[in-house]
Amino acid sequence: MSQDSELPKSGKSASEPAHDEEIKTTKIVAGQKPPKSQKPKKRGFFTKSRTLEVSVAVGIAAVIAIGAASVTIAANANNANNSQQADDLKELRLGYFGNVTHALPVVGVQQGFYAKELGKTALKTQIFNAGPAAIEALNAGAIDAAYLGPSPAINSFVKSQGQSISIVAGAASGGAQLVVRPSINKVADLKGKVLATPQLGGTQDVALRNYLADNGLKVATNGGNDVTINPTENAQTLKLFQDGKLDGAWLPEPWASRLVLEAGAKVLVDEKDLWKDGQFPTTILIVNKTFLKDHPDAIKSLLKAQLETQDWLSQHKDQAISAVNAGLVQAAGKGLSDDVLKRALDNLTLTDDPLASTYKTLLDNGVKAGVTKESDINGIFDLRLLNEILKEQGKPVISADGLGES
């Protein structure tokens, strides 16, 4: 993708919806109690939550608590005609990552598509580093919906016996790689090395553990054995690699590209090469199951916003880099070089298809990695609202591949 035209300073092009409402940002620090107005309401299968501190619990080990930034987006008062689409809900709380693999919410929130579709329902967003932290927040009632990878979603569904979440759409495929030091040329060279993933039990963590196991390298969920895996926040992974304290990492974009272009890493494994037709889900949209039942109109508006963002990006490829960068500045506080963004976007496919046919394999991978258990995941998908919209727009519907409603 090239950047032939530059967006205005607001990050919007002349063809985008105008939004005059101020974007209010609130930082949430791990361990700090939120203001009363931001305390989570009790919703869904898990209801206990006393602060917005996000701590990870994947049932296999204690892991690093992740602080998250929270952004409140006020809906445009001129969008009263959309208010009924989100029923009488005052606020929808959405989690996502400041990653290129989350380009749809990153761009759609910043450009105002999500606020427009939600109408009078205010959109409040919270930024995470990895999926298990977002799952913990959703299960605790701190957020209502989240973009994340499939492995934490599967684990939550299994642990709750199908009561916690529903997958309502895909968002991205591809964009994950194992990048290593130039001296590492084959998988056998990883023995004795120290690698990183974004978080224990996350999608890239499961992928790395399975890749190593499939190639005869033993790795326990608490590290050690033939290869040591240190779950590490992405920005810290980059620094540790630059300082010579890590030998590689299995990362989503743009972090794989950053290690390659900014730290001299090379690609040992592109995850797409491990999947049939190169297709595997990197980012999906999940919703608290109770929230989905109580507020289907709000979720339908959320899905409309995602599809609108996807269409806009496909129609404005010359502005994609600027749009993603503006969204990353808002979500993560810092933009990236055009070279990094171009490489990252080239490795990624934005899609509303969650690729349901891959989920039995993903479940098996999670079991082998020790982050989940054997289970029946029938019912994990609810694609009915997505397919309603696709039918209205004259687009092909998406299959749940026998694992839920479509």
Residue 23 CA: distances (Å) to CA of 28, 124, 313: 16, 10, 22
Structural domain for 202, as ranges: 176-278
pLDDT of residue 221: 61
Residues 288 and 377 in one domain: yes
Q: Are residues 27 and 83 in the same domain?
A: yes
pLDDT one-digit tens code per residue, 25-64: 333 323 333 344 444 443 333 333 333 333 333 333 333 3
Give the pairing type, strands 145-148 and 348-350.
unpaired
Domain boundary among 278, 298, 331: 278
Nearest CA to 305 among 8, 82, 151? 82
Distance of CA 190 to the CA centre of its chain: 28
Spatial contact of 306 and 108, defined as CB atoms under 8 Å apart? yes
Quote the pTM value: 0.79
157 and 214 part of one domain:
no
pLDDT of 98 higher than 60: yes
The chain-wide mean pLDDT, for the chain, equals 83
Q: Are 304 and 397 in a shared domain?
A: yes
pLDDT per residue over 276-309, tens digit each? 889 999 999 999 999 999 999 999 999 999 999 9
Residue 155 belongs to domain with CATH number: 3.40.190.10
Mean pLDDT over 237-250 rounds to 97
Q: Decide if pLDDT at 376 tops 50.
A: yes
Instruction: State how many domains the chain has.
Output: 2
Q: Is residue 92 part of a domain?
A: yes
Residue 362 and residue 246 share a domain: no
How confident is the model over 155-174, as a mean pLDDT?
96
Q: Residue 65 has what pLDDT?
A: 34
Q: How much of the chain, in percent, has pLDDT values that exceed 70?
A: 77
What confidence score (pLDDT) does residue 81 get?
A: 40
Query: Residue 385: how many CB atoms within 10 A of its CB?
Result: 22
What are the pLDDT digits (tens) for 334-366? 899 999 999 999 999 999 999 999 999 999 999
Q: What does the longest C-alpha to C-alpha distance in the chain come to? A: 60
Q: Is residue 16 part of a domain?
A: no
Give residue 87's pLDDT band: very low, low, confident or very high (50, 70, 90): low
Q: Is 173:279 a contact under the CB 8 Å cutoff?
A: yes
pLDDT at 276: 86
263 plus 287 within the same structural domain: no
